[in-house]
Structure 1
């Protein structure tokens, strides 16, 4: 049977092997870098100046019109729906996730139990209260610029001429 001391010795040997591998790999990488620097005529100062450059506007410099933009405030929205199987949540904004996309009644997934009666009350609201007022529609045969009865008179005249 293997003892704890034997396992600790193996762990120590493996850690030493790992350290030597890291040293050899890093030395290989450093020699490649040194060769590339020599090939292209670069110095450490060149690399430091290149790494020090930042893209875009320098910090502390105002925008072109003299007014710097304020950073956007991130608004966190509390999740409204939760999947009981996976525990995933959704705020109700944006595209619906797969677990709730095709569900007809989303009240089953509501996190806040007090929100369910509000949703049910909204569904039971009388339709007359939510009905939109639409513009009056023209008769089917009416065209722009004609009187409403002109199309009917024309069809009667055509029917009489045919008879």
Structure 2
């Protein structure tokens, strides 16, 4: 029977072997995909990809909450603004400030 340290060493060795095999297989798959794309004249745009993340950065989101007196707004994302924290701390509910 193997000791605990021996088993840990075997686990580490297997992890390294698995990662090496994964990299080898990925490079083979990528090479195959590139060859097929070249053979059939397929581009990234044909695949519906621009090569960039499909998630837009910096998009604005409509305000969800508004302070009735000051007109300050909050989208409901990120840290709650101080004006709303103050109102919630005085016993009002966040939902009371929802924009209809």
Band the TM-score falls in, shorter-chain normalisation: 0.3 to 0.5
Who wins on radius of gyration, i.e. which is larger? 1
Q: TM-score, normalised by structure 1?
A: 0.29
Q: TM-score, normalised by structure 2?
A: 0.46
Larger RCO of the pair (alpha carbons < 8 Å, separation 6+) = 2
